Chains A and B, each alone.
Chain A
C-alpha cells in the first residue's frame, strides 16, 4: 500500500509543495511556476548555487503524483537527514543562515532572478554547513520592484540576531512563538537605544517598524509608471543588510557551562579514561547515528564523529553549542550537527495543527544515545525520578551509553549545596534497577580517579 502524504509544513506556496511517497521525498513544481523554474535551470543560477553548495541538488523524476493535474515537474531533492529549526540554533548558526540567504540573493540577481521569500525555515544544515532547501524560492527578477522578502529577512534573521547580541542570547527562542519571525514593533520595544547607533539596525529595524505601524491596514500606493526601485538601490540594500548582519557578534561569557571543563573534578587521567570507555562502547555498538544529550562543547560527540558516525550534538546551553559549532566550522567537520536542546523541555510541535514544525523527538531519531554527565542534573536539579528517566530513554533509542554520577562526586555536591537532600533513592543500585526494567546492561566501567560509572545498555523494548 502506497504511503503518500504531503509534508505538513509545505502548503503556503502555490508554486509547489513537498510530499512523501513510498519512502521518497519529492517536490512538485506547479504549472504556474514554469517560466521561473526554467529560468532557474537555464540561466546558470542552479548550476552555480549547487556548485557552491548553497542549494540542494535535485533530480527530475518521471513519476505521477496524486496531484498530477496542475503539475509541471516532479523533483527529487537531496534529503536532509536531520531537520532543525531556527529557535534551536546557536547565534552563529542563525547568523550563517542569514548571510547565506543574502549571498544567494546576490547571486540570483546576477542571473536575473530574485528570492521571493527569506524564511529561516528555508535553510537547513547539511554536512556541517547551512544550505537552501527550497528550490522554488526563486522568481524572475521583477525590474523596478522592491524586494518582496525584505520584511521576512528582517523578522526571521536581523531581529532575533540583534536581540541576541544586545539583550540575551536566548532571544531566538521567540521564533518558536512567532512563526513568521519576531515582529519588528516588539523588537523595537525590546532593543536598547544604543542599537540605534548603527545605521543599518536603525533603518532596517527601527524605521522599518515605524513604517509598518504607519502603513498597517492601508494598501500600498498604486505602482507608479516606471521603476520605483532601481537595481542599484537593490544592490545597495542587500550589501547594507549583509554588512549590518556581519557586524553583529556575540561572545559567550558568564554561562556556567562554557567553563565547565575548567572547573570539574576531572583529572587528565579520568578524562582520558572516559574517552577510552566511550570509544570502546561505540566500537562494540557500531551505531548508524548518535544523539548526544547534554553534550556541552561536543568533546565526547567527537569520539563518535571521528569514527565516521553522523552525530547530533545537543546541549541546553547556547554558549556551549556556539563553541561546538565554531569548532565544526574551523575544522570543517561534516558529520557533526550541534543544536540547542533542553531535555526537560524539548521543542514542541507548533504551527498549523501543531504539526507544521514537528516536536524534537519526532523529528530527530538516532539508534544510539549518549547521556554523559547528564542524569544527575535531571535527578537533582529537575527532581526527575530514575524510573521516569529510564522510561523516557527507552522510548527514544536502541542503544544507550549513560554515565551515573553518584552523590559523592563534587558536581553532585555542588548541586545539593543550595537545597535539601530529598533524594534518598539516588544511588547506583536504584539507577541500575530502574533501567533494568527497560534495558539490558551489557557493560559497566568506572572512570579512573572518580566514582563515576559509564554503562552500555541495550533497549529490550525497542522494535
Chain B
C-alpha cells in the first residue's frame, strides 16, 4: 500500500472544488462565522451558569442585568 502524496490530495480537493465558492464569500463567511461562534459560546456558557445556580438553590437567583433571554440550543437531529 503506498502513501498518498500531498500533491494527489490537493489534486483531488481541486477536482472536488468544481464549484467556485467565491473569494468574497469565503472571507465574509469566516468573519460572520466567528461573530456567531462568539454568540453561540456565550449562549452555551450562560445556560450553564443558569443551570448551575438553579440546581444549587430552590429559589433561582435574580437574573443579572442584561441578557435575560433563555438560550435555545437547537438540538434537532
Report A's interface with B, CB cutoff 8 A: 12-15, 32-33, 36, 103, 106-107, 110, 116-117, 139, 142, 146-152, 154, 203-204, 207-208, 210-216, 218-221, 228-230, 232-237, 239-240, 242
CB of B3 closer than 8 Å to a CB of A = no
**Cα separation A240 to B28 with both chains bound (whole Å):** 14
B32 adjacent to A204 (CB under 8 Å): yes
Which of B12, B23, B33 has the most CB atoms of chain A within a 10 A radius of its CB?
Answer: B33
**Cα separation A36 to B33 with both chains bound (whole Å):** 25
Q: What mask results when residues 15 to 36 of chain B are scored 1 for a CB within 8 Å of chain A, else 0? A: 1111111111111111111101
Q: Quick one: closest B residue to A209, CB to CB?
A: B24
A228 touching B21 in the complex, CB below 8 Å, given contacts A36-B16, A235-B40, A236-B37? no
CB-contact partner of B19 in A116, A203, A208, A240, under 8 A: A116
A233 touching B15 in the complex, CB below 8 Å, given contacts A146-B26, A215-B24, A215-B27? no
B16 adjacent to A139 (CB under 8 Å): yes
**Cα separation A232 to B41 with both chains bound (whole Å):** 8
Chain A at the B interface: SS class: helix
Q: What total of chain B residues lie within 8 Å of the partner, measured CB to CB?
A: 30
Report B's interface with A, CB cutoff 8 A: 12-13, 15-34, 36-37, 39-41, 74, 76-77
A240 adjacent to B29 (CB under 8 Å): no
A150 touching B29 in the complex, CB below 8 Å, given contacts A12-B18, A117-B19, A211-B24? yes
B30 adjacent to A146 (CB under 8 Å): yes
Min CB–CB distance A206 → chain B (angstroms): 10
Min CB–CB distance B42 → chain A (angstroms): 11
B33 adjacent to A233 (CB under 8 Å): yes
17 further A-B contacts with Cβ under 8 Å, apart from A147-B29, A230-B33, A237-B36, are: A15-B18, A116-B17, A117-B19, A148-B17, A151-B21, A203-B28, A207-B28, A218-B23, A220-B26, A232-B40, A233-B33, A233-B37, A235-B37, A236-B33, A236-B37, A237-B32, A240-B36
Q: Quick one: closest B residue to A118, CB to CB?
A: B19
Which of A154, A233, A239, A240 has the most CB atoms of chain B within a 10 A radius of its CB?
Answer: A233
Min CB–CB distance A225 → chain B (angstroms): 14
A237 adjacent to B33 (CB under 8 Å): yes
Q: Chain B contacts of A240 at CB under 8 A?
A: 32, 36
Q: Chain B contacts of A204 at CB under 8 A?
A: 32
Min CB–CB distance B75 → chain A (angstroms): 10
**Cα separation A142 to B16 with both chains bound (whole Å):** 12
B40 adjacent to A151 (CB under 8 Å): no
Q: Chain A contacts of B77 at CB under 8 A?
A: 107, 110
Q: Quick one: closest B residue to A243, CB to CB?
A: B74
A233 adjacent to B22 (CB under 8 Å): no
> Can you list 17 pairs linking A and B with CB atoms under 8 Å apart?
A14-B16, A32-B16, A110-B77, A139-B16, A146-B21, A148-B21, A151-B21, A203-B32, A204-B32, A208-B25, A211-B24, A211-B25, A212-B24, A221-B27, A229-B29, A233-B36, A240-B32
**Cα separation A213 to B27 with both chains bound (whole Å):** 12
